[in-house]
Structure 1
Amino acid sequence: MLRPLLIKAVAPAVVAAGLLSFVLVGGSPPSVQADISIPMTQGTPSLAPMLKNIMPAVVNIAVTSKVEIQNPLMQDPFFRRFFEGPGAPEQPQERESQSTGSGVIVDAKKGYVITNNHVIDQAESIRVRLSDDREFDAKLIGKDPQTDVAVVQIDAKNLVAIPMADSDKAQVGDFVVAIGSPFGLRQTVTSGIVSAVGRHTGISEGGYEDFIQTDASINPGNSGGALVNLNGELIGIPSNILSRSGGNIGIGFAIPMNQARNVMDQLVEHGSVQRGRIGVVGQDVTPDLAKAFGLPSARGAVVAQVVPDSPADKAGLKSEDIILEANGKEVQSFVQLRNAVGLMRVGEKVKLKVLREGKPRDITVEVGKAEDQVASGEGLHPALAGAVFGPRAEIAGKPSGEGLDAKGVLVQQVAPGSPAARTGLRPDDVVIAVNRQSIDSMAKFEELAGVKEGQLLLHVQRGDGALFLIVR
């Protein structure tokens, strides 16, 4: 299964961005685990003994979904307005689409299989094929687009699960093996090393990234498969590649298992992820900022704004604070801080080491629930159905420092083919005004947009530009 990135597109097309494009590829502890002991072999060294024990845990996932067929000109809201009314083009039609990816059995007793969200997103049906050719219909337990993790469940006997490693211990230079179904070729194994850890690719604004980079060959269809160490332990879930053509050039990215396991546990428990928040807008400490603040090095995250009445505000965090550590772990960037907080459970406490006016201090913040300030378009206006809106402050924090103004609300999600999509809204749009009235909070947006009927004039920022959208 294949989906181009940043630049979010739908599989299986590949879109180039300049010379390179990011491409999504693919697509309680286990009671039974593979025996990871590697017996001594005679002659040539081989990974075969280890692989023999864990490969039955890597499965093929076949997905059937509905794809909308629509005149691309009708995606332009101005073109569509011109043709609205009698004689307008027919409503979009759908066709059946099939795609494949990979998955990993992580709980043999309960039949839980972890994979990528983009492998099963929009699925009408999900079919899992084991290494012994048994096939089972799978039930979707939950999915999380922001981390690209999903969990499905099959009802099967005699399953084998891969033991999960502590991915925080992965180091550059560690040998790793990728297992999956590239281009539909089941049970394919490639090897390489960990090329980097803690990678942030910027694939999607608002996503939670902390990738393990590897040169083990990963191709379309590997998505959701296994990246394992030489002990036969699962350290990551291959998710995307950097590529000129959609094929492997030795730069692949896997979701670290500690992050995937955290998300998986919440999906199994709640069916969704209860995203944490503390309510700050921030940016990386650049060399220029380090000099301006009198810091010895360009590391950490500077707080540019604290959202009123947020957990950070209540804990005493202030603008211009420099966050150096979170729960004892050094903070290198604002994105790293946001990822750490966003994956914490609501109610947990994050201990921050902060530098304020050159003096260190410790501040403990109780993680709040991001969904407390999220609004669904269905509850606001019929034409906004399919969109999810949230505070801009929860997404800001780009390395270059732009986007620090927290005014406006962020379009977090837009379902393909939904009324909101037909209106012209896109993910990562920022609504800065409704009916010519500025938006400075979620409450103000809900007040102005929640009219249930009638026409709305949305002023939207998109990238470096802006436009007006008519909603009716």
Structure 2
Amino acid sequence: MKVRNIIILSVTFSILITITGLVIYDSFINRPVVIFEESQSPKNINFTNTSKFTNIPSFKHAISKIIKSVVYIRVIRKNDDGELSFDVGSGFAILPTGEIVTNEHVIHDAEKIMVTDYQNKEYDAKLIGADIGSDIAVIKVNGQNMSFVFFGNSDLLGVGDWIAEIGSPFKLRNSVTVGVISALHRSLDKSNRTLDSYIQTDALANPGNSGGVLLDQEGKLIGMVTSKLSDNTDIQGFSFAIPSNVVKKSAFDIINFGGVQKAYAGMAVIDNIGEGALVESVRKNGAAFNSGVRKGDVITNIEDIKLCCSAQLTEKIAQYNPGDSVRVILQRADEVLEKILILRNNLNTEDLIVNRKDEILLDYGLILRDLTNEEKKSGNSGVYIVSIIKNSVSDEVNLEPGFFIKEVNGIQVNSVDEFIKTITNSQGQFVLNGYYKSYPGEFKYVLEKR
């Protein structure tokens, strides 16, 4: 009897091991391998007949209005060891003259940027400008009569609205996915990003979707796809987009001013218990302080918009320029107060800051601006270096952003126009004399005339 029981147990145990092995093999070992290859733009797109479903809209017309403005972006990067790496992303034209918007992280540190449009025409692109804080960049191709997007108003979006995304996931160009808005003003707490208010959708996003379009049922751009929930590609079902009002303002600032005209309210806010934004601290002599906003106030409205959270306030402020006036309603104890904020720039002045990128400046790797009135009143003089282009002649002589150029070849310069005139008239090399606020003393740099 004991022998029989042992045999039965052995057979049963063997069967269990076999079944377990088959399950493991089927689930983890025998998984299909999918190889994604670069695709051509689909010319004849077949749309699924959704008439059998109820209340699900067709995006056929909307997609036909915007898809020709979407582009495929390839970048080449070089690390410090000289090794090349390749990456892809998406973008979209905003002007018929070839200005294209994408994410800053798509083209960050790119040695070369290449664009392919809907008609499979390829272009070399140059960087016009980028803003790391909002993750927005503008590149330009030598295009004419390009199809371009029409902007919708992201302030009018609601949770549950149907949306579609177009991009190039895994190099599969002009891929369309559909979903709904899952949440608005979502905070992701991304490092080094000053904008932290995103549209959350349940449309799928994968590597290559970054910089793609988020559109409404009218075919208007309501956001730029920028992120998914995690770099872990097994987590699906969430994607995030920068609201179109922020994209539009930032992109045209870069085109018109050389950089984003960021407005600051001069206060730190956090989510309030309930609705609104709780003022955690106020910067002395900033916009909020000067208007009478104080720590502990709860901002409930900005202009005619009722605030749900601090992220919504941040998003709204990002749509204004320094010098603009905004009306806020706040709760202070049992009082309801109205305040007018005159927004300021990062230098705490009301000036617009124009970053100059004239061709002659770019030849030397320089991006300059004139000094603000506040800087001049504080005793500063000359012109200010906003940025140094990597591997340029200015980079090679170790010039750094933040340098005040007082003189060129001993001649005082008080504006970018004077600087350009002086270096244009110089013979051979020229000497830049100036100072940094963060380093003691004065410095001289010698650049060869190009």
Q: TM-score, normalised by structure 2?
A: 0.63
Query: How do 1:199-278 residues align onto structure 2 when only pairs under 5 Å count?
Result: 199-204=186-191, 206-243=193-230, 245-246=232-233, 249-278=236-265
Structure 1 residues 249 and 206: CA distance shift in structure 2, 3 A: closer
* RMSD of aligned Cα (Å): 2.9
The question of whether the paired residues in 1 share the 8 Å contact of 2:196 and 2:314 is answered with no
Q: Which runs of 5+ in 2 are unaligned?
A: 1-48, 350-386, 392-435, 443-450
Aligned-partner residue type, residue 339 of structure 2: I
**Counterpart pick for 1:351 among 327, 330, 333:** 327
Query: How do 1:7-156 residues align onto structure 2 when only pairs under 5 Å count?
Result: 47-68=59-80, 93-108=81-96, 110-156=97-143
Structure 1 residues 158 and 43: CA distance shift in structure 2, 3 A: farther
Aligned-partner residue type, residue 106 of structure 1: I
Aligned-partner residue type, residue 280 of structure 1: M
Are 1:323 and 2:299 matched, yes or no?
yes
The question of whether the paired residues in 1 share the 8 Å contact of 2:77 and 2:111 is answered with yes
The question of whether the paired residues in 2 share the 8 Å contact of 1:58 and 1:130 is answered with yes
The question of whether the paired residues in 2 share the 8 Å contact of 1:352 and 1:363 is answered with yes
Larger relative contact order, structure 1 or 2 (CA cutoff 8 Å, min sep 6): 1
Shift of 1:197: 1.7
Question: 1:196 — aligned with what?
Answer: 183
Aligned equivalents of 1:328, 1:158: Cα separation in 2: 38
Query: How do 1:404-443 residues align onto structure 2 when only pairs under 5 Å count?
Result: none
Aligned equivalents of 2:213, 2:269: Cα separation in 1: 34
Aligned equivalents of 1:316, 1:162: Cα separation in 2: 41
Query: How do 1:151-190 residues align onto structure 2 when only pairs under 5 Å count?
Result: 151-190=138-177
Aligned equivalents of 2:268, 2:294: Cα separation in 1: 11
Shift of 1:239: 0.4
Aligned equivalents of 2:159, 2:308: Cα separation in 1: 18
Question: 1:423 — aligned with what?
Answer: none
Shift of 1:53: 4.0
Q: TM-score, normalised by structure 1?
A: 0.60
Offset from partner CA, 1:298-331 (integer Å, 9 cap, x none): 2222323322222222222222222221122223
Q: Which runs of 5+ in 1 are unaligned?
A: 1-40, 69-92, 287-297, 374-412, 418-445, 454-472
Aligned equivalents of 1:330, 1:416: Cα separation in 2: 44
Shift of 1:333: 2.8
The question of whether the paired residues in 2 share the 8 Å contact of 1:219 and 1:248 is answered with no
Offset from partner CA, 1:189-218 (integer Å, 9 cap, x none): 111222222211112365212211111121
Question: 2:405 — aligned with what?
Answer: none
Query: How do 1:312-461 residues align onto structure 2 when only pairs under 5 Å count?
Result: 312-372=288-348, 449-451=438-440
Aligned equivalents of 2:239, 2:286: Cα separation in 1: 37
Shift of 1:94: 3.1
Aligned-partner residue type, residue 102 of structure 1: S
Aligned equivalents of 1:332, 1:452: Cα separation in 2: 50
Shift of 1:269: 0.9
Aligned-partner residue type, residue 71 of structure 2: V
Aligned equivalents of 1:157, 1:53: Cα separation in 2: 18
Aligned equivalents of 1:123, 1:42: Cα separation in 2: 42
Aligned-partner residue type, residue 368 of structure 1: R
Offset from partner CA, 1:82-104 (integer Å, 9 cap, x none): xxxxxxxxxxx332222110011
Aligned positions, number: 310
Structure 1 residues 205 and 155: CA distance shift in structure 2, 3 A: closer
Structure 1 residues 251 and 349: CA distance shift in structure 2, 3 A: same
The question of whether the paired residues in 1 share the 8 Å contact of 2:324 and 2:343 is answered with yes
